[in-house]
Amino acid sequence: MTHRPLGVGVVGAGRVGAVLAAALRAAGHPVVAAAGESDASRARIAALLPDVPIEKPTAVARAADVLLLTVPDDMLGNVVAMLTASGAIREGQYVVHTSGRHGLAVLEPAREAGARVVAMHPAMTFTGTALDLERLGGCVFGLTAGAGERAVAEALVADLGGRPMWVPEEMRTLYHAGLAHGANHLVTLVTEAMEMLAAAGADDPSGTLRPLLTAALDNALAHGDAALTGPIVRGDAGTVEAHLEDLLANAPQTVASYVAMARATLDRAVTDGRLLPIRALKIHDLLARASVAAATPTTTLAPVVPPTVVDRTTHLR
């Protein structure tokens, strides 16, 4: 522990709250009380915070030196207002939330009541089980706090085994959008890819994808756009066209996301200087046609562009 023990209270004992409180407890901070009414929250308290008293949120707040507000993002403002209005927030107390999107503004009522406010977002996905505890090692925490709270905020992150990253108040939403785009949309992308492989007869879609996706992720994290391989960056319009025809016929529900990702990939390949704009044009046309085809009963890549443009496209072949 990097500083004196602080009594931790948690409102509520969800996936994040129960795990962070358990980790702070393991680091030497007593967990004085937890709030959670659903069966799931009660089960997490029993599993991760045994012997911690279950109290109403106001009682948790009154008992805590460090109050973790780990409620859904959209509830945070109401919970802060309610706890403050009821007089449960006191001067000098640390009030900490774990939302990525929110910064300090949502904690303003607590700050006005004299609390020391911190936004401390773990850039991690949580299951709400002990599995998460080891994942906190090296996890980055997006921190926003005033100068007076920086040292304690960093010490709490260190006690959790994490690494601090300071995020300016006005950058919180962009910071969170970046994480959500990467982590949440990755899940959709991978799941769609597994479904395509399953439909193609693969008996182990995840095992088939794992080595490829692991290498692609590692390369992208290390090299950015330079990691890109495949038909788009090669300008292989025929292969993209074949993909689109097949998806329209066999997996039409994936066409919209394939087209959206292909467009973004195409633009990045051109900007990166790896694909000539003139070669990208043909793929752009194919993607536009696939969008229209996916939105209409026809499932083929019928030309939707004027004949002159079709001629130009043919010429590009």
Ligand X SMILES: NC(=O)c1ccc[n+]([C@@H]2O[C@H](COP(=O)([O-])OP(=O)(O)OC[C@H]3O[C@@H](n4cnc5c(N)ncnc54)[C@H](OP(=O)(O)O)[C@@H]3O)[C@@H](O)[C@H]2O)c1
CA–CA distance, 115 with 117 (Å, rounded to integer): 6
Q: Which is nearer to ligand X, 183 or 215 (CB)?
A: 183
* Residue 286 near residue 240, CB atoms below 8 Å: yes
Angstrom CA distances, 228 to 80, 221, 224, 265, 281, stand at 45, 11, 8, 9, 19
Q: Which is nearer to ligand X, 162 or 235 (CB)?
A: 162
Q: How far is the CB of 18 from ligand X (least distance, A)?
A: 8
Q: Which is nearer to ligand X, 57 or 103 (CB)?
A: 57
Q: Which is nearer to ligand X, 12 or 205 (CB)?
A: 12
CA–CA distance, 75 with 95 (Å, rounded to integer): 15
Q: How far is the CB of 16 from ligand X (least distance, A)?
A: 4
Query: Tokens for 9?
Result: 């209270």
* Residue 98 near residue 116, CB atoms below 8 Å: no
* Residue 80 near residue 101, CB atoms below 8 Å: no
Do β-strands 94-97 and 116-122 pair in parallel, antiparallel, or remain unpaired? parallel
Q: How far is the CB of 32 from ligand X (least distance, A)?
A: 17
Q: Which is nearer to ligand X, 124 or 190 (CB)?
A: 124
Q: Which residue is nearest to ligand X (CB)?
A: 14
Q: CB atoms < 10 A from the CB of 65, how many?
A: 17
Q: Which is nearer to ligand X, 93 or 265 (CB)?
A: 93
Q: How far is the CB of 117 from ligand X (least distance, A)?
A: 15
Q: How far is the CB of 104 from ligand X (least distance, A)?
A: 14
* Residue 77 near residue 105, CB atoms below 8 Å: no
Q: How far is the CB of 33 from ligand X (least distance, A)?
A: 13
3-state SS assignment for residue 201: coil
Query: Tokens for 283?
Result: 């793929």
Amino acid at 74: D
What does the binding site for ligand X look like in residue numbers (CB under 6 A)? 11-17, 35-38, 40-41, 57, 70-73, 75, 79, 98-100, 121-122, 124-126, 128
Do β-strands 116-122 and 140-145 pair in parallel, antiparallel, or remain unpaired? antiparallel
Q: How far is the CB of 82 from ligand X (least distance, A)?
A: 8
∠141-144-148 over CA atoms, to 5°?
115
Q: Which is nearer to ligand X, 19 or 262 (CB)?
A: 19
